[in-house]
Structure 1
Amino acid sequence: MSLGAELIGNPDKATDTQLVWAPYFRYVFDAKGKKTDSVLIAAEKTLTQQFRDYYKKYERINRFEIGRYITPYGNGLDLGNGFTWTFDVSDYRTLLKDSVHLAAGNWQELLNMEFLMIKGTPPRDIISIRNLWNGNFNYGIDNDPIDNHLKPITVEIPAKAKAARLKSRITGHGFGGNEDCAEFCGKTHSYKVDGTKRFDKLVWRDNCAYNPVYPQGGTWIYQRANWCPGAEVWTYDFELTPYITPGKNASLDHDVENYNWNGSGSTPYYAIEDQLVTYGAPNFTLDAAVDEILAPTNNNMYARMNPVCSNPIIRIKNTGSAMLTSLEIKYGMPGAEQSVYNWSGNLKFLETAEVNLGAFAWNGSGTFMVNIGKPNGGNDEYAPNNTFRTKVNLPPVMPEKFIIELKTNNNPDESSYTLKDASGKVIISRDNLDANTTYKDTVSLTNGCYEFRLKDLGEDGLKWWANTAQGSGTFRFKKIENGSVLKNFNTDFGAEIFYPFTVGKLVGVRDYIFESKTQFHIYPNPSSGQIHINLDFAERKTGILEITDITGRKIFSYHIKNTIAEGIEADLKHFPAGVYMAVLKIDGEIQTRKFVIAK
C-alpha cells in the first residue's frame, strides 16, 4: 500500500510504503489435508478512509494543427498501394523537437506519416509561434453570430522579431440551408491589424474536379469552401511584417462576411485554425530556391499533370531579401545534355512563380533534375536549395497511327478535345459536337512527345452517377489495323482527361501496354439497361465475360481472345430492374462487379 501524504503540490506522489494484510484465518490441517481447526489473526491497526477535495494534475498541452486533409469518398475508390500527400510544415519546425504528441483525427483509413527534415539554413529563423482562433465556429446564427467567438486578440511581438506571418487554415461545413452554407458557399474572410483591414480572402476551392484522387463514389467534383474530398486543405499565409512593430503589442482580428442562416439543413460552421508566427531578419540577400517540380514527377499530388516527356513545369521561390528579377535554370536528366532557360520577372521575398520550361533530352534514367543559379546576374548566397531532383515515369508509348474515338453524351456542348505536339502545335481538335454521336479521328504521328486533352466544361466527365440526365459517353484509343481497343479511358474523370504520350521513344515495342494490373469498369451504374464494360490488361489475355441475374442465370457472354483491352457494350434493356453480376474469368482468376438496372 502506498501512502500519499504530500497534499500540496503533488497529491498523487507516494511518500511512504507499508506492507499490510487484512484480518484472516490461519487453518490447521490433518494428514489428509482436511481442515480441523482455525485461528483468527486479528487486525493490529485500523486505517480510516477519508474523502478530501482533490485536483487532478494534468500535463500542460499546447495543441497546434500543422496540416489538414479531408478523406476521400471510399465507395468505388481504389488507391492501389496508397497515395501520398505532402505538406510543408517548416513554420512549425521549432515545435517538432524533444517529445511531442502527434495525432490525426481520422477514423477511416490507415495512415503512415513521415517527417523529412532538411538540414540547413532557412530563409529566416522562427522566433515564436502561438495560436489565435482555433475550433469550430457556427456561422449565420442570428442570436449568436460568429463575431462573438472571433473577437480581437492582442498579441505581443517579440523585441527580436523582424517579421511576422498570420497562418489561416479554414474549411466550411454544413449545407441544406440558404446558399448551402458553409460547405458550398464562398464567403470572404477579412483580417485586421490594429483595427485596419489588411487582407481579404474568399474561402473557396475551385479545382476539385481536377483532383488526382478519382473517381470517387460521392460528390467529389463539387467545389467547396477550401476543401475537396481526398485533398489537402490550403493554408492562407498573410505577411504582417509591414504592419507590426517589434517589442510592441498588436491587435489582430478575424472577421467573416455577414450571413443569416434560415435554419434548414445542417448547421453551417467554419473549422478555423489561425496562428501567428514571428521571424528574424532574412538570412540571405540574394538567393533563390527550386520550390517544387510539378512535371515531370511521380509525385501523386501532381498526377493530373503527369507523366510528361517535354515542357517541364517547376516552381521557384525568392528566398533572399532583394527583389528577384532574373534566374538561370538548367534542367534535364542526369547523363544527358542539360537544357537552359533564362527566367525574368519580379518576385518579392518568399514569393513564388511557376515556370514553364522547354524541351529536354530524354534518356530514360528515371530521374529529372533542375539546377538554378545567377540570381539577378549575381552569385547565389545559398547553394543547397538550388538543386531539385524527382523520380519520373516514362509516358505511355503509342503507335504512329491510331484512332481517337469519342462518343458524346446528352451534353455535347461541354466536350472538346485537342492533340498537340511538344511545340504546342495543334495536330487535331474537335468541338461543336452533336449529342450521342460517335466521332473518330485517325492520326498519323512522327516520333516525339504529344499531349492529348479531353475537356468537359460541366466538370462531371462523360458520365457521373449524380447527373444521370447527361447520359453517358465513351472515350478510347483504337488500333488502325482491326479497330480493336488500345486504351479505354474512365469516363468519370471530372474536368478533363490529360494524356501525354510518346511515339518512337522506345525501340522494339511490340505491344502497347498501359496498365500494371487488370482494370474492370462498368458504367453507368445504375443504368436503364444499356451498359458499357471497359477491360484493360497488363498483358494479352484470353477468357470470357459473363453477366448473370440475381439467381445466377446467365443472360450475356462475351469471349475475350488474346487482347490487351476491350470495350464491350451490352443491351440489357429487355431485362427487368434488379441487381446483376458481371463475371470476368481470365487465366483461372475470377473478378466480379455488381451493377443495377433501374427502370
Structure 2
Amino acid sequence: MKKILCTLMALIGLNLASQAAVGDTTTVLAHNETKLQTYTSYDTVITFPSGTTPYQKIIMDFTLGKYDCGGSYNPATAGEGAGRSGWCSDWDYDLHIIVMTAAGDTIELGEVITPYANTTLPMFPWTWKRNYRYDVTDFYPILKNGATIRIFYAGWSGGFTGTTKFRFIEGTPPRNVLAVKSLWKSGNDGYAYGETISIDSQIVKRTVTPPAGTTAASVRTIISGHGFGNQAYCSEFCSKWYRLMINNQNVEQKSIWKPDCGYNQAYPQSGTWVYDRANWCPGEHVEPYVQSVPVAALSAPFTVDLDFQPYTNVGTTGNPGAWYKLSSAVIFYGTYNRQKDIGVEHIISPTTDANEYRNNPICGSPKIVVKNYGSETATSIKFEYGVEGGTLSTYTYTTNLAANASAEVNLPSLASLQTAAANSIFVVRVLSVNNATDENADNNVLKSSFVPSPEWTGGNFAIQLKTSGAVSGQQNRTDWKITNISTGAVVSSRNGTANATTYNDTITLPNGCYKLELDCSTLGAGLRNPYLISAAGSFIVRNLSTNLRITLDKNRDGLTSAYQGNLEGWMGSGFTQYFTVIGSTSVLKVENNINLNIYPNPTTDVLHIRVDGLGIQKGTLTLTNSIGASLYTAVMTGNDHKINTAEFPSGVYTLNYSSDKGNRVEKVVIRH
C-alpha cells in the first residue's frame, strides 16, 4: 500500500499515516518540477506526518531536470557576446535543499551541483532527468508537522528544474534519534577563506549538551569550495583540509577535495567537467562528511569546532574571492533496536540506474552495497541472488562489518547475466547474519532492472589506440587491457606511453565474458577534450570477421554536438566495457608488439612486471639508473616477474625488456 500526503490533503485534515502498517510508505511532495530561473530561494510549505508513527527509514529524492528557456536562446550558439544567444542549463551551479521548521530549526539536507548540460549533447535533451537519493532518517526529530522546504539555487541563468519528495517507510528505526542540533550554516555566499577575517573566526565554537540516554553522536557536514581568481585557485581548485575539534582535541581531519571528477557518471558535459574540485563535481551531489563524536565526550556538555588549514588569499583577478559553502549539524542517538540487521542499500551492477552508468551493463560479478544497522559486528552474511524467475545462487560473505558501517560486496559471477533478456530483473536478498536470522526482513531484499552486456561475434578483433597530443606539456598516458572474467587473467593489454602515437593490436578470444578497460587516469583528460587537448586521440575496436567497427557506448562512439563537435573519446579518466564473445571457435591468440605492464608505478617496495602476448617464452629484464648504470638483471621465463625495489634509492629508473620478439622500455619511479 502506498499513500500520498501532500499539502492539500493536510489542509482538509486527511490523516493517512494512521491507516498504515509496518513497511507502508507515506510520500510528501514538496517541489514539483519547479523552474530554477535565477539566484534565489524557492520555498514550498508542506506538512510532514505528525511524529506519532515510528519510521524505519526516511528517504529524500531530489530530481534535477531541465526546461527550455525559450526566447532567442539556441543551444548551438550558447554563450555571451556577438552571435551568441545566452545561457540555459549550460553552467555548473550549486543548489541546496534545506528544511526550515516552525520551531526555528534550519538544516541543510543536501547539496547538488548542476551539470554543464547543453542540449545539443545527446545525453542532455530537454527531457533529461537525474535523481539524487538521500537517507534523511536521522533528521526525523525535525521532519514533523508543518515545515518549509527550500531549494536555494546559486545560478545566474535558468534551464533546470527541481523536484523534492520525501518517503516515510514505517517500522522501527535502527536506533532512536534523540535530537538534532544545527551548528553552523553559511549564508548564500559562503564563508570567506584566506581573508583578514579568518574562516576560523567566522565558524564559532559551540557548546552542546547530549540528551539523556545518548550513546553515540555524529557531526554531519556538507561543504563545497568556490572561487578561483587567485594564485592558488582557491577554493574551487585547491585541496585544503579541515579538522573536527571536540573539547579542543582533533578528532578527525578531512580533505575538502573530490579527486575523481573524470569518472563522472554524466559525461561528456559541455564544460570543464573533468577538473577535480573542492569536494564537488559538476552533475554530482556533494557527499556529506559524517564524523563520530568520541563516546568519552558524551557524558557531559562538550565543545565542537571546525579548524581550517591556514591560508592567505592573494588575488590575481578582479574577482579574487575564495569561500566555502558549509553547513553542519550534530545528531544524538540512543541504543540500537536490533542486534542483527543487515540492509541491502544499493545495487551497483547489474542495473539500468543512470547513477551507475559507468559500471553497467555487466556479464560478470554483481556488486552491491550493504549496511550494518544492528549493534552486533557482522562476520558473515549469506546472500541469495540471481535473475528473478530463474535459479538463484547463494554466497556467504566473510567480513568484519561494524555497527553502522557499509561495505561493497562483489558477488560471484553469474552465467545467467550473459543470456538474460533485456529488462530482466536482478534480485538479491539477505538470508542470514552470523549464521542466524536477520531481525529485520524489511530491508533484506533489493531488485534492479538490467540489460545484458553487448555481444561481440566471431572472436577476432583489431584494436587501434591513437594517443592524444600533450596536455599542458604533460604526457597524456593512455592504457588498455582486456580481462577474462572467468579466470581473472589479463589476456591482452597496451601501454600508450608516447604522445600522438598509433598502436595497432589484434586479438582472438574464445567464447566467454570479458572486461575492456581504457585508462586515462594519469591526467583524467580522456583522448579528446576541447579545453585541454589540441590534437585528439582515438580508440577503435573492429570486428575482423565483418570488418565493421564495434560501437563502444562508453567511449561515446558516433556522437556529436552542434555546440561541442565530435564527442568520441571525451570520456575523462577512462571507461570499462563488459562484453560477451559468441560464435568463436578459436583459442586465445594475441598478435602485437611486446606489451610491458608494470605496477605500481611509482613504487616503494615491490615492482610487478607482466608481459602480455602468447608466444613470448623468454626475455631479459634490465633496470638502470639515471646515469645508465645497470642495477638489476634477470631472465624472465614466464609472463610475470617481481623486483624488490626497497634496496634502491628514490629516483627515476629505466626498465628494459628484450626478447626475440622485440624490446620495450618503461620509466619507473621509486619513492621511499
Q: TM-score, normalised by structure 1?
A: 0.70
Q: CA separation in 1, counterparts of 2:546 and 2:413?
A: 34
Amino acid in the other structure paired with 1:291? E
Partner of 1:144: 197
Residues 242-270 of structure 1, C-alpha deviations (whole Å, 9 max, x = no match)? 14335x32211111111111133421111
Partner of 1:66: 109
Equivalent runs, 1:171-210 vs 2, <5 Å:
171-210=224-263
Q: CA separation in 2, counterparts of 1:306 and 1:120?
A: 33
Change (3 A) 1:421 1:119: farther
Partner of 1:341: 395
Q: 1:399 aligns with which of 450, 454, 457?
A: 457
1:269 is the counterpart of 2:323 = yes
Residues 406-440 of structure 1, C-alpha deviations (whole Å, 9 max, x = no match)? 22222576111111122222222111454433333
Change (3 A) 1:100 1:179: same
Q: CA deviation at 1:152?
A: 0.8
Kept in 2, the 8 Å contact 1:321–1:349? The answer is yes
Residues 537-566 of structure 1, C-alpha deviations (whole Å, 9 max, x = no match)? xxxxxxxxxxxxxxxxxxxxxxxxxxxxxx
Q: 1:458 aligns with which of 523, 534, 537?
A: 523
Q: CA deviation at 1:359?
A: 1.0
Secondary structure at 2:107 match in 1: coil
Kept in 1, the 8 Å contact 2:379–2:434? The answer is yes
Equivalent runs, 1:95-106 vs 2, <5 Å:
95-106=142-153
Partner of 1:234: 287
1:428 is the counterpart of 2:492 = yes
Partner of 2:298: 245
1:389 is the counterpart of 2:460 = no
Q: CA separation in 2, counterparts of 1:487 and 1:432?
A: 21
Kept in 2, the 8 Å contact 1:67–1:89? The answer is no
Partner of 2:179: 128
Q: 2:170 aligns with which of 119, 124, 147?
A: 119
Amino acid in the other structure paired with 2:445? T
Q: CA separation in 2, counterparts of 1:480 and 1:293?
A: 36
Q: CA separation in 1, counterparts of 2:397 and 2:372?
A: 13
Partner of 1:90: 137
Q: TM-score, normalised by structure 2?
A: 0.63
Secondary structure at 1:472 match in 2: coil
Q: CA separation in 1, counterparts of 2:142 and 2:395?
A: 39
Kept in 1, the 8 Å contact 2:388–2:424? The answer is no
Kept in 1, the 8 Å contact 2:458–2:545? The answer is no
Q: 1:472 aligns with which of 520, 523, 536?
A: 536
Equivalent runs, 1:440-589 vs 2, <5 Å:
440-456=504-520, 457-469=522-534, 471-481=535-545, 483-487=547-551, 489=557, 490-504=568-582
Q: CA separation in 1, counterparts of 2:455 and 2:545?
A: 17
Q: CA separation in 2, counterparts of 1:183 and 1:200?
A: 19
Structure 2: tracts of 5 or more residues without a match: 1-100, 558-567, 584-672
Secondary structure at 2:434 match in 1: helix
Kept in 2, the 8 Å contact 1:413–1:431? The answer is no
Q: CA separation in 2, counterparts of 1:268 and 1:71?
A: 20
Q: 1:110 aligns with which of 140, 161, 164?
A: 161
Q: CA separation in 2, counterparts of 1:487 and 1:245?
A: 58
Q: CA separation in 1, counterparts of 2:508 and 2:394?
A: 31
Q: CA separation in 2, counterparts of 1:398 and 1:83?
A: 31
Kept in 1, the 8 Å contact 2:229–2:315? The answer is no
1:211 is the counterpart of 2:289 = no
Q: CA separation in 2, counterparts of 1:400 and 1:440?
A: 19
Q: CA deviation at 1:374?
A: 2.6
Change (3 A) 1:290 1:241: farther
Q: CA deviation at 1:71?
A: 0.8
Secondary structure at 1:227 match in 2: coil
Q: CA deviation at 1:129?
A: 1.0
Kept in 2, the 8 Å contact 1:308–1:501? The answer is yes
Amino acid in the other structure paired with 1:498? T
Partner of 2:503: 439
Percent identity among equivalent residues?
31
Amino acid in the other structure paired with 2:446? F
Residues 199-258 of structure 1, C-alpha deviations (whole Å, 9 max, x = no match)? 111111011000011111221111111000110101001122514335x32211111111
Change (3 A) 1:393 1:99: farther
Q: CA separation in 1, counterparts of 2:290 and 2:265?
A: 24
Kept in 2, the 8 Å contact 1:308–1:394? The answer is yes
Tell me how large the CA RMSD over aligned residues is.
Answer: 2.2
Structure 1: tracts of 5 or more residues without a match: 1-57, 506-599
1:306 is the counterpart of 2:360 = yes
Amino acid in the other structure paired with 2:468? N
Secondary structure at 2:138 match in 1: helix
Q: CA separation in 2, counterparts of 1:178 and 1:113?
A: 39
Partner of 2:467: 408
Q: CA separation in 1, counterparts of 2:498 and 2:191?
A: 48
Partner of 2:212: 159
